[in-house]
Amino acid sequence: MKFVFKSFGCQMNKLDTALVTSALTEAGFDLTENVKEANVVLINTCSVRRHAEQRVLSHLGHLKHIKRARPDLVVAVIGCMAQRLGDKLLEHEAVNIVCGPAQIPQIPGLLTGAIEQKKKKLAITGKIRRPTPNAQADALERFESAADSSDKQIPGQAFVRVMRGCDKFCTYCIVPYVRGPEVSRPPEAIISQIKNLANEGIKQVTLLGQAVNSYEYKTGEKTYSLADLLAMVSNVEGIEWVKFVTNYPAEKFLDDILQVMADSPKVCPYLHIPVQSGSDKILRAMNRRYTASEYLGLLDRARDIVPDIAIAGDFIVGFPGETKEDFQATVELLHKAKYRNCFIFKYSPRPGTTADKRLEDNIPADVKQRRNVELLAEQEKISDELSRSFLDKEVTVLVEGPSKKPHLDSADNAGNPQLIGRTATDYIVVFNGPTLLAGDFAKVKITKTSPLTLFGQLI
Ligand code: 5AD
Ligand code: SF4
């Protein structure tokens, strides 16, 4: 049996895709890129914005036609949209299986059942905000620690989930309703998983959580925080770089985390810490529990403790009620924050969230678009200036492999392809070199820069 996997959304989803792929391979299925030769199509979906869901629906529309010609093709929808829409999604002509994020251990069985019986199957969580039942939590834990989470496309790297779910309830966000309550994984399970990955040649692990700095695991006498975990991961032999995403801007644990970053050369000096808005009024309406000046205070502290830190953020523009003045406050915050880069999104109302229930989506699309473009342009100037400071400097990168896009300055390559690598601070670096460097560290001298990418020569 052959399967195709199409994955949308964030790193959490990419990790689930890797875990399910590994479990299916273990169960005797073979991964293929080609829908024509596949018996099963899996789609891992995202619900964070309407646009993400529309892309999935249009993909399902396409599969519907393929299935009319090949009724035996099994289509399984997993991920956040599966949990959010449940049986409504199952009604779709193309869909055989709808499986939520907490039910992924059941996928191999569900697929085998669907191939044999041709019945539609729904596997999602009924009351998602109830505490996760022990049996389900154990099944997820076993599934997670047994599967291989290394990134097959990017050698040497792996993602490791340290917690599931989210309890922050930002008013715009669907995540707490589709990924359920926060649950931190036991540190010994995480460490033993990372030791296995290191034995297989993994050099960089990225610890994942929706608000990863909220990680907290209590055993008898000790409570483990993310700072403890980072220190433990740094001690795993073979692991050279540790990254972690994403952080919630809260006082809790942040100083300790920054201290470990300052003390351990393995913990990468990169902090992704979304602010969402620079207006206190909007932050309140979003239920973000800080003010703009408190947030900037956190960034100051981060730079005091880790002077070479690179900081990245997220913004939402066009939240209900965002006036010109509110947006201006966001622009001002962006200038003060001096992000290395940031992600900017237009507000998209999500059914069932507090913002959608209580606030009218009253910022016109063209205003959202203008604000998005303006903020991006401001950030580009800052990113460009920061990038330029790397000119003529040497950087260390973890090489990912051949660059997918040909870049302009491919002049001197002596037969070597263009590779891309990433620095500890998450800059993409393009240079010519032998493909066998993929998965290893290399030193590159920077000769040219653009806002988000550095170009250079292998040393
Ligand atoms: N609309 C627009 N952007 C959103 N995000 C989360 N929910 C929404 C929404 N409803 C953004 C936030 C978050 C990132 C992952 O997606 O900026 O940090
Ligand atoms: Fe959503 Fe807020 Fe949780 Fe992030 S912290 S996943 S934005 S609710």
The string of pLDDT tens digits covering residues 133-184 is 888 889 999 999 988 888 778 999 999 999 999 999 999 999 999 999 999 9
Indicate the pTM of the whole model.
0.96
The secondary structure of residue 261, as a DSSP letter, is H
Torsion region of 166: left, alpha or beta (phi above 0 gives left; psi -120 to 50 gives alpha): beta
At 55 the three-state DSSP class reads helix
CA of 399 to the centre of ligand 1 (A): 30
Domain boundary among 388, 407, 438: 388
User: Given this model, what pLDDT does residue 404 score?
Assistant: 81
Q: Give the amino acid at 11.
A: Q
Q: Which ligand is nearest to the CA of 276?
A: 1
For ligand 1, the distance from its centroid to the CA atom of residue 164, given in whole angstroms, is 18
Task: List the beta bridge partners of residue 430.
Answer: 420, 455
User: Quick check: is 344 in a domain?
Assistant: yes
Average pLDDT over residues 120-129: 95
* Residue with the two structure tokens 């660059």: 403
Q: How far apart are the first and last CA of the chain?
A: 46
Contact 269, 241 (CB under 8 A): no
403-418 pLDDT, tens digit each: 887 765 555 556 788 9
Domain final residue, candidates 357, 388, 419: 388
pLDDT digits (tens, 9 = 90+) for 365-392: 999 999 999 999 999 999 999 999 999 9
User: Based on the domain organization, do 316 and 364 belong to the same domain?
Assistant: yes
Counting from 1 in the atom list of ligand 1, the atom nearest the Cα of 353 is 10
Same domain for 232 and 361?
Answer: yes
Ligand number nearest CA of 10 is 1
Tell me if 412 sits within 8 A of 456, measured CB to CB.
Answer: no
Least confident of 79-93, 263-277, 303-317, 414-428: 414-428
Half-sphere exposure of 111 (CA within 13 A, CB side): 28
Instruction: Answer whether residue 40 is part of any domain.
Output: yes
366: CA distance to ligand 2 center in Å?
26
Cα(305)–Cα(315) distance, rounded to whole angstroms?
25
- Closest CA relative to residue 182, chosen from 233, 132, 134: 132
Give pLDDT, residue 211.
96
Coil, helix or strand at residue 95 = coil
Q: Which of 104, 106, 113 is nearest to 164 (CA)?
A: 104
Instruction: Tell me the H-state helices in 275-345.
Output: 280-285, 292-305, 324-337
Give, for ligand 2, the residue of 84, 172, 173, 345 to mutate: max count of ligand atoms closer than 8 Å to Cβ. Answer: 173
Query: In angstroms, rounded to a whole number, what is the distance separating the alpha carbons of residues 425 and 441?
Result: 14
Q: Is 212 in the pocket of ligand 2 (CB under 6 A)?
A: no
Instruction: Mark which of 388, 414, 447 sits at the end of a domain.
Output: 388
| Residue 357 belongs to domain spanning | 134-388
- Same domain for 255 and 152: yes
111 lines ligand 2 (CB under 6 A): no
The verdict on the CB of residue 170 being under 6 Å from ligand 2 is yes
> Which one of the ligands is nearest to 52 CA?
1
